[in-house]
């Protein structure tokens, strides 16, 4: 190049620089993109950071990982400017979720999903983070109630649905949404389809795909267990038994689910089926399993089974294995039933009255039991009082009508000869639940008790 040509080229560069000559900078190419040295260093640095973060994740060093990458806008301003920060935001969200900083995690994942709405991983991660926060709230690890809780539930459902749409042959997202309905919302019936889908999706996989997706097998086994649990709670014990036996068989070596839980569930199913000997054997096996927690619920169900087998003394010995301080209200109910079977009504009364002092959730059930004990002993006035108190508590606590309370108050009024009150209560019960057990029998007795004059007026 001649001296003249060199000077001309330099002059051209200076003119371009002065004029800021970038003619077509857009979302696809910026001026910085064509400076490859800078871009290459930035991209390699990001890859190295992500690799380091992944290593820290393997060691559960969430705080150390976050220190490297969060806040993303502050740690990687150039990457953020270039728009290549989506992956690192997802990494930050994962670490934030592990540290129960769910709001921040959700904010990061929302950015990821908005940028890549068809990305399965981001949709699934956002759903899981919302779901995990709800579990943390249930366990009182974070505060989440009222409208924010409902919004979080809706967020989880939205992104579980999207993840399922993107991978309809999956297992994990169906299992997790099933747990959201069952454990968080208490909507057992709605969870059945999701657990069934998770089970079906695994079963149709060939052996090669099962091997490739082995990390999802755990949630297949757990879906079998949860499906059985739902079905027995929906009074479908025969169907529940089928899936529970599959679960026990599939989980024989892996033990994803504690044997104590599986055999307790088996005992519960057999109890519902009226196969008391099998229920007893399953529960005794459950008690033989090593566990750090005292299984009071297993002893309680075993006591109920023994009572159903007309072994009240053995049932009493079993329930007494639960320390006094660990006897929750449902244990007290079984204990009182056993004492009633032994004709120790005074003992049963004491047990139930003690339970009412500590129970601020299911006290109505205890009061109904007391009403029945008083009724069977001919104390109709006291029976009616307990029934009335049960109805009042239920209405104040849960805002509804308690059919059991109406019935036992009505029957007590009938036996006291207060037919006017009995008829009113019975009418209220008929309006609330016309199929309530023995309601028609009580209506007939009340009709027979009417005098000819009353019938004429009616």
- Residue 144 zone, left/alpha/beta (φ > 0; ψ -120 to 50; rest): beta
Supply the pLDDT for residue 186: 95
Q: What pLDDT was estimated at residue 291?
A: 74
Q: What residue ranges of the chain have pLDDT lower than 50? A: 2-4, 6-7, 10, 37, 452-458
Q: What secondary structure does DSSP assign to 249-287, as a single string?
A: HHTTTT-SS-HHHHHHHHHHHHHHTT-HHHHHHHHHHHH
- CA distance linking residue 86 with residue 153, whole number of Å: 25
CB atoms within 10 A of CB 59: 9
Alpha carbon of 248 to those of 241, 257, 345: distances in Å? 10, 9, 41
Q: How far apart are CA 69 and CA 75, in angstroms?
A: 6
d(CA 368, CA 290): 37
Within 10 Å of residue 137's Cβ, how many Cβ atoms?
A: 18
pLDDT value, residue 454: 46
Task: Note the pLDDT tens digit of each residue in 35-71.
Answer: 554 556 667 878 899 999 999 999 999 999 999 999 9
- Report the C-alpha gap between 345 and 337 in whole angstroms: 9
Burial class (CB in 10 A: 0-12, 13-18, 19+), 74: exposed
As a residue count, the chain comes to 458
Kindly tell me the sign of the dihedral angle through the C-alpha atoms of 394, 340, 334, 432. negative
Same CATH topology for 44-166 and 168-257: the answer is yes
Mean predicted lDDT score pLDDT of the chain: 91
Q: What is the pTM of this model?
A: 0.84
Q: Could you tell me which CATH class the domain 168-257 is placed in?
A: mainly alpha
The closest of 135, 132, 110 to 123, measured between CA atoms, is 110
The residue extents of the domains of the chain are 44-166, 168-257
8-state DSSP, 33: G
pLDDT of residue 78: 87
Give the whole-angstrom CA distance, residue 268 versus residue 32. 67
CB 175 within 8 A of CB 226: yes
The CATH number given to 44-166 is: 1.25.40.10
Name the residue with tokens 């309809």.
168
Count of other CB atoms within 10 angstroms of residue 54 = 11
- Cβ neighbours around 415 below 10 Å, total: 16
Q: How far is CA 362 from CA 322, 390, 397, 398, in A?
A: 20, 10, 9, 10
How far is it, in rounded angstroms, from Cα 309 to Cα 317?
A: 14
């Amino acid at each position: 190049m001649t001296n003249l040509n060199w000077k001309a080229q330099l002059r051209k560069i200076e003119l371009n620089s002065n004029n800021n000559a970038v003619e077509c900078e857009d979302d696809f190419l910026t001026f910085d993109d064509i400076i490859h040295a800078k871009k290459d260093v930035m991209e390699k640095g990001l890859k190295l950071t992500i690799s380091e973060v992944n290593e820290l994740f393997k060691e559960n060093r969430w705080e150390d990982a976050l220190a490297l990458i969060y806040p993303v806008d502050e740690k990687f301003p150039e990457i953020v400017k270039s728009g290549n920060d989506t992956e690192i935001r997802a990494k930050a969200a994962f670490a934030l979720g592990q540290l129960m900083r769910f709001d921040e995690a959700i904010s990061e994942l929302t950015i990821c999903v908005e940028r890549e709405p068809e990305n399965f991983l981001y949709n699934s991660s956002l759903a899981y983070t919302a779901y995990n926060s709800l579990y943390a709230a249930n366990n009182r690890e974070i505060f989440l109630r009222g409208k924010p809780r409902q919004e979080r539930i809706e967020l989880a459902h939205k992104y579980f649905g999207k993840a399922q749409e993107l991978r309809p042959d999956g297992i994990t997202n169906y299992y997790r949404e099933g747990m959201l309905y069952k454990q968080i919302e208490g909507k057992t019936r709605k969870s059945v389809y999701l657990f069934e889908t998770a089970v079906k999706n695994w079963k149709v996989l060939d052996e090669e795909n099962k091997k490739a997706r082995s990390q999802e097998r755990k949630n297949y086994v757990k879906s079998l267990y949860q499906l059985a649990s739902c079905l027995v709670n929906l009074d479908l014990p025969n169907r529940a038994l089928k899936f529970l036996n599959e679960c026990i068989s599939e989980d024989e070596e892996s033990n994803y689910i504690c044997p104590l839980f599986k055999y307790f569930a088996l005992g519960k199913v057999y109890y519902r089926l009226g196969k008391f000997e099998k229920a007893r054997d399953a529960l005794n096996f459950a008690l033989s399993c090593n566990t750090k927690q005292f299984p009071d619920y297993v002893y309680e169900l075993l006591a109920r089974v023994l009572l159903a087998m007309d072994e009240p003394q053995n049932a009493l010995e079993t329930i007494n294995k639960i320390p006094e301080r660990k006897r929750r209200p449902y244990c007290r109910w079984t204990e009182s039933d056993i004492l009633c079977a032994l004709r120790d009504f005074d003992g049963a009364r004491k047990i139930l009255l003690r339970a009412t002092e500590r129970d601020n959730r299911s006290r109505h059930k205890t009061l109904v039991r007391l009403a029945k004990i008083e009724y069977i002993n001919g104390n109709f006035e006291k029976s009616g009082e307990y029934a009335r108190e049960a109805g009042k508590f239920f209405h104040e606590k849960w805002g509804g009508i308690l059919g059991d309370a109406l019935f036992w108050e009505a029957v007590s009024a009938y036996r006291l000869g207060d037919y006017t009150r009995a008829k009113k209560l019975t009418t209220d019960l008929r309006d609330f639940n016309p199929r309530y057990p023995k309601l028609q029998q009580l209506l007939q007795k009340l009709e027979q008790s009417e005098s000819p004059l009353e019938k004429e007026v009616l």
